[in-house]
Amino acid sequence: MITVDVPIPGHSYDVLVGHGARHELASVLPRSAKRAAIVTQPGVPLDLDPGIPAQRFEIGVGEEHKTLATIEALCRGFAGMGLTRHDVVIAHGGGIVTDVGGFAAASWHRGVPVVHVTTTLLGMVDAAIGGKTAVNLPEGKNLVGAIWQPSGVICDLDALATLPPRQWRCGRGEMAKYHFLTGDDLLALDEPERIARCVAIKAAVVAGDEREDPNGGARALLNYGHTLAHALEIATHHELEHGEAVAIGLVYAAHLARLLDRIDDAAVQHHYDVVAGAYELDTALPAGLDPDELVALMGRDKKAVDSLTFILDGARGVEIVKDVDPVAARQALEMMR
């Protein structure tokens, strides 16, 4: 078992990574917790025993259920069981579950403890770590939410034994992002070390910028590749999964950086070598999408305060770039066709 500390001032917690980690669930629950509300989905692997009385709440499968209506339904369920601040929400599933379960916990009684038991590679390396919770609107992805740190996170690698190939690709999209942020050869590590290293990378960034300072905090760098990715998810009505969209977004960010003379052709090729070559992910922009719609959706990204804003590679490494010309953003899309 590998334990990774997320050293957020005032909100420090442990992430347990390993086979059978779910059996340590009771060790990360708040001591005050008398009951648990388990938020999950049909078909989520691994049975849980929190060691306290628990009631199960299932949400729908798919991004179309990541909505305010789902939050309302959960909170009404919490009301029905009489959930209090001396209880705990356990989000048991992938990224949608930890996003929705975490947001419901942050909202109910203005905040009750939450523990994430994540069962997908994407959840383990990214979604369950750092306290970001949110739901979608038709206008954009993750536009309504809260930052609510969990009391602990369980990454039981047993869950990955039945993970569908597409969900493996989604997790690898986020892992490829970490390659560009650090230069680490994550694929050279064995599975537990690789996942723990991704957790540690994100933990270090979040500890220094918990709430993503809009004036240039480091946490925004974790969104490398995500500006186009979120737009693609909305434009394709979530036919593209998040990690698949991130893979395309990483390559798009390289093209845009090249267009702005931040990197050279070799750096663009390096993005293809990593994303398509090493991580074996598709980098093609889906056919039939309207570039103007994609640019408009990217303009609604949370980083865009008053102009198009991207995370782009450059001579100083990956950094925030504001005031990007929409014409350049559109041209970079055309370069990928």
pLDDT digits (tens, 9 = 90+) for 236-249: 999 999 999 999 99
Active site residue 110: yes
**Together in a domain, 28 and 135:** yes
Which residue among the candidates 63, 212, 233, 244 is catalytic per the annotation? 212
Query: Distance (Å, rounded) from C-alpha 319 to C-alpha 127?
Result: 21
> Residue 81 belongs to what domain range?
2-169
Asked which of 169, 186, 203 is the last residue of a domain, the reply is 169
Whose tokens are 């598709």? That residue is 282
| pLDDT at res. 304 | 66
**Together in a domain, 222 and 140:** no
Query: Distance (Å, rounded) from C-alpha 183 to C-alpha 290?
Result: 34
Which residue among the candidates 172, 242, 262, 271 is catalytic per the annotation? 242
Active site residue 11: no
Class of residue 225 by CB neighbours under 10 A (exposed 0-12, middle 13-18, buried 19+): buried
Whose tokens are 């690898």? That residue is 172
pLDDT digits (tens, 9 = 90+) for 202-257: 999 999 999 988 777 899 999 999 999 999 999 999 999 999 999 999 999 999 99
Active site residue 34: no
Smallest Cα–Cα separation from 332: which of 256, 281, 253? 256
Dihedral sign for Cα atoms in the order 175, 134, 248, 157: positive
**Together in a domain, 56 and 164:** yes
Q: What is the CATH number of the domain that holds 272?
A: 1.20.1090.10
**Together in a domain, 163 and 218:** no
pLDDT band at 324 (very low <50, low <70, confident <90, very high): very high
**Together in a domain, 135 and 234:** no
What is the reported pTM?
0.92
| pLDDT at res. 94 | 96
Active site residue 19: no
- How many residues does this entry show for the chain? 337
Give residue 164's identity as a one-letter amino acid code. P
Q: What is the mean pLDDT of residues 132-142?
A: 92
Q: What is the CATH number of the domain that holds 137?
A: 3.40.50.1970
Active site residue 239: no
**Together in a domain, 150 and 237:** no
Which residue among the candidates 223, 233, 244, 271 is catalytic per the annotation? 223
Whether residue 187 is contained in a domain is answered as no
Q: Is the pLDDT of residue 302 over 90?
A: no
Active site residue 136: no
Which residue among the candidates 92, 116, 219, 303 is catalytic per the annotation? 219
**Together in a domain, 14 and 159:** yes
Whether residue 188 is contained in a domain is answered as no
**Cα distances (angstroms) measured from residue 54 to each of 39, 48, 78, 84, 110:** 10, 10, 11, 13, 21
| DSSP assignment of 186-246 | GGGS-HHHHHHHHHHHHHHHHHH-TT--TTT-GGGGGGTTHHHHHHHHHHTTT-S-HHHHH
Active site residue 169: no
Which residue among the candidates 31, 76, 110, 337 is catalytic per the annotation? 110
Asked which of 143, 169, 195 is the last residue of a domain, the reply is 169
Domain tally for the chain? Answer: 2
Smallest Cα–Cα separation from 77: which of 41, 43, 39? 39
| DSSP assignment of 309-336 | -EEE--TTSSEEE-S--HHHHHHHHHHT
| pLDDT at res. 271 | 97
Give residue 263's identity as a one-letter amino acid code. I
| pLDDT at res. 300 | 86
Which residue among the candidates 66, 92, 132, 258 is catalytic per the annotation? 132
Active site residue 142: no
Contact 30, 50 (CB under 8 A): no
**Together in a domain, 251 and 326:** yes
pLDDT digits (tens, 9 = 90+) for 59-94: 999 999 999 999 999 999 999 999 999 999 999 999
- CA 243 to chain centroid, in Å, comes to 9
Local structure of residue 24 (DSSP, 8 states): G
Query: Distance (Å, rounded) from C-alpha 80 to C-alpha 83?
Result: 8
pLDDT digits (tens, 9 = 90+) for 17-27: 999 999 999 99
Dihedral sign for Cα atoms in the order 178, 179, 185, 188: positive
| pLDDT at res. 235 | 95
Which residue among the candidates 92, 141, 197, 226 is catalytic per the annotation? 226
**Together in a domain, 25 and 104:** yes
Active site residue 226: yes
Contact 289, 245 (CB under 8 A): no
Helices 242-259, 265-272: crossing angle, 10 deg rounding: 170
Whether residue 272 is contained in a domain is answered as yes
Mean pLDDT of the chain: 95
- CA 9 to chain centroid, in Å, comes to 21
Measured at the alpha carbon of residue 29, what is the angle toward residues 80 and 147, in degrees to the nearest 5? 75
Which residue among the candidates 66, 169, 202, 262 is catalytic per the annotation? 202
Q: Is the pLDDT of residue 303 over 80?
A: no
Active site residue 211: no
Give residue 71's identity as a one-letter amino acid code. I
